[in-house]
Chains A and B, each alone.
Chain A
Amino acid sequence: MKRWKQSELVPVQVELNGVQRRGLCEPRVLLSDFLRDTLGATGTHVGCETGECGACTIRVDGVAQRSCLTLAVQADGRCIETVEGLAQADGSLCELQHALRERFALQCGFCIPGILMTCAEMLKRRPLPEDEQIPGLLAGHLCRCTGYTDLLAAVRHTVAEVRRREAAHPASAPSVGVHDA
């Protein structure tokens, strides 16, 4: 296998949770490994690395995708949001994270960073999904602990809260407490 010289490595610059970061990598490096190993952002978890488990899901330019099915070089110049960007600067959890905690929707927690990023994108795009659409949010994620029941309950709880707020203040546009990183 070719040994890449330092001078041959490809520079990759991303905006990670609002902060400009850059690093050097071989073209074959996955975005998930670049985030974790090069930039030290280990909140994104790597499970299967072949696009099945969904644990590595992040948002690139606002869109949820698997960072193990994206090359780091493809992300050059993009805006990346990971689970580290969901909580407020003071460490307080976002509404969705809070709901998961309240509903005991995580056990080992390995899959949760990816699940949060998919649900955050969907609820941002569509704060009030139809109830039958909610299980589809988890179609791209494997969780070996929860049986999904409490995860779905937490998402439904979040949606119900948005609906309740909208009923109380119909003038404001419905939105989920997932702030922009």
Chain B
Amino acid sequence: MNKLCQLTIHEAHELLKRREISSVELTKATLERIAEVEDKIHACVTVTGDMALKQAEEADGCIRNGNITPLAGVPVLIKDVICTKGIRTTCSSKMLENFVPPYDATVIGKLKTQKAVILGKGNMDEFAMGSSTEHSAFFPTHNPWNLGYVPGGSSGGPAAAVAGDEAIYAIGSDTGGSIRQPAGFCGVVGLKPTYGRVSRFGLVAFASSLDQIGPIVKDATDCALVMNAIAGYDSMDSTSVDYPVPNYVSYLKGDLKGLRIGIPREYFVEGMQSGVKSALEIAIKKLKELGAEIDWEVSLPSTKYALAVYYIVAPSEASANLARYDGVKYGFSEQDAGSVIEATEKTRQFGFGTEVKRRIMLGTYALSAGYYDAYYLKAQKVRTLIKQEYEQAFEKCDALVTPTSPTVAFKLGEKLEDPMQMYLSDVCTLPINIAGIPAISVPAGFVDGLPIGMQIMGKPFNEETLLHIAFAYEQATEWHKSKPEI
């Protein structure tokens, strides 16, 4: 293995700036790593090696001219739910298997402006619906720490790729935990920004009031660098918020004096693996040693309703968003049918996988006449209560700390036939999307050789505090430096 693929963004940047390595060398090392381990991990749907090397040459040209940005020449893998002009964007679905977008998502445009090198597209649960990447229509991704285990989901491909050094970093999307849960399962860092912080233009819609794009990276510094590049208002996304973007890197400090961190007790109850609980207790002790004041008296009593709220709201919005797949304008199309309606039904029957159908059914039912008030409206009212409880908690705390998920990664196939068990693996992450606030997952130990994620939640548009805490914790621990043997 060429060690260059193990670099972080900031380490690679220093070497590129000093001209000790070129972007072409770095990109080749990463592509070689993909060739070496991809038949074990299966993180990538599409690898665009030739295009990547061309982008690397261009980046080297800019760097030679003294024109270097923090992401210039550094290879990135993009979750296959984000539109890339000229590169097929499949959502790991048969429905979009051959779809080539005519435009770039706003985040892709921003990365290209920085002369990032795009390696290809990462595997995921179909249309981002799932928690294990086993719902990919193409193949499941394997956890680099133990190939018999899932990498989490839905951004399992991007998270496994970063953990396995197949990419220096990745861009994912998070609707109920799809960045943080796989980051936790794979021992890397993943941030779901505040709703509206990063443009969703060009992100294939799943649940529009919950979806958000964010970084999957090797450490907090890289996370800050990627946020500097992708955050900000975009006139193409009317839900993006025109709020100043700070220089996130300037908040990375080693001590936590003056910060008050709350531990919501509802996140430390039944179903939690004992090894995860004890690792979190040790991590919280470390935060205290670093100067933070720990508040054990925080309560978010409506947390127990979040799973039900989420699995009403998200499928309802999905059922509306996925109505567009009718086999007419793009995507899979089954025309061997009598009428236009029958053609639509067959297109959707053969184009969608089981989990996507399950959620379309659930959402359509929850929105249908006679049930709207009982399900969707009720869920949106409870959503208000959940949001209010977070607002109250943040009146006295700067951040809240919980596990990213109640257990470490589970075995491939273990939860595939039991949708409720699969949904429960997101129980710690999905309240964040319901409330619209930011949260980051950072590596915080191991149980039986599988990584544990610590989740840090923050106030709206206060990602800098999460990065500050993540950075200080990293300075005092070694977890983020551990590498799997593949």
Whether chains A and B associate is no
Interface residues of chain A, those whose CB is within 8 Å of chain B, are none
Contact residues of B with A, CB < 8 Å? none
